[in-house]
Amino acid sequence: MITLEQLRYRWPKHDIDTIHIEQLQIQQGERIFLFGPSGTGKSTLLGLLAGIHRPTLGKISILNQDLTSLSNAKRDQFRADHIGTIFQNFNLLAYLNPLENVMLGCHFSTLRTNKAVQQHGSVKQAARHLLAQLGISEPLLHHSVGELSIGQQQRIVAARAVIGKPELIIADEPTSALDADNRAAFINLLFEQATQCNATLLFVSHDQSLAPMFSRQLSLAEINQRDEKV
Ligand SMILES: Nc1ncnc2c1ncn2[C@@H]1O[C@H](COP(=O)(O)OP(=O)(O)OP(=O)(O)O)[C@@H](O)[C@H]1O
């Protein structure tokens, strides 16, 4: 599903590579817990996989598509079609209600729109269905997202990430603002959604207590060589 080969990424003005991974393979449907000390490059790696950053060297292939051979516009389209993202800062649009925020997950992708329409008749119905599954009740759908609790906002972000069934879900510390009970509940929700989409889940967290819930634990320190000077 994901193959990395000789992947290197160096931020401008840095004199070492933040990411140097010789080889990594992730299979469809795996639930990966990616961990490592702060500043070791977890978010950088997620940005590379999401096609937000372009590798300095090497190859990233997702669903047999070599991301490195795509133009910026095509990489953006690939992300919109195949990758659901959940980032720390949520990126919800404050002036839209929960339903509209979830529908945004399909906005840039005909592929995901078609999947949502096929399953639920319309993107709006798909968003409604997901929010109901995630416990966001009907009256909340008409509030602006800024009026909702952090836990509710996280569920909206999760719904936006999975609407239209993307094959890969990338989550960067999505549970850092939650207490232990809500953290486990949120991850279970994410697993349920990933199972329904047959999606691969790549989840970054510092919280080692969550690691056993996942099918594979990946230490960035172990796979990343971060050697000096190329
Ligand atoms: N926009 C940027 N410009 C330049 N350097 C950056 C940028 N973002 C991250 N870096 C550098 O890349 C390295 C890895 O940062 P990254 O955010 O990927 O680590 P992380 O493991 O996700 O950290 P944390 O656990 O604290 O979120 C750091 O040395 C950081 O300074």
| pLDDT score recorded for residue 227 | 61
**CA–CA distances in Å: residue 194 to residues 47, 91, 177, 200:** 20, 21, 22, 7
Mean pLDDT (whole number) for 15-40: 94
| pLDDT score recorded for residue 229 | 46
The one-letter amino acid code at 9 reads Y
Q: Measured in angstroms, how far is the CA atom of residue 187 from the centroid of ligand 1?
A: 24
For residue 17, how many C-alpha atoms fall within 13 Å in the half-sphere facing its CB? 20
Q: Measured in angstroms, how far is the CA atom of residue 228 from the centroid of ligand 1?
A: 17
Name the band, by pLDDT with cuts 50, 70 and 90, for residue 83: very high
Can you spell out the DSSP letters for 8-48?
Answer: EE--TT-SB-SEEEEEEEE-TT-EEEEE--TTSSHHHHHHH
Mean pLDDT (whole number) for 142-163: 89
| pLDDT score recorded for residue 164 | 95
> Which region among 47-61, 91-105, 152-166, 170-184 has the lowest average model confidence (pLDDT)?
170-184
Contact between 144 and 100 under an 8 Å Cβ cutoff? The reply is no
CA angle centred on 177, ends 151 and 2, rounded to 5°: 90
Q: Measured in angstroms, how far is the CA atom of residue 46 from the centroid of ligand 1?
A: 11
User: How many residues are listed for the chain in this entry?
Assistant: 230
Beta strands at 168-172 and 200-204: parallel, antiparallel or unpaired: parallel
For residue range 57-74, what is the model confidence (pLDDT) as tens digits? 999 999 999 999 999 999
Query: Ligand 1 within 6 A of 42 CB?
Result: yes
Can you spell out the DSSP letters for 51-62?
Answer: TSS--SEEEEEE
| pLDDT score recorded for residue 178 | 73
Q: What mean pLDDT, rounded, does the chain reach? A: 91
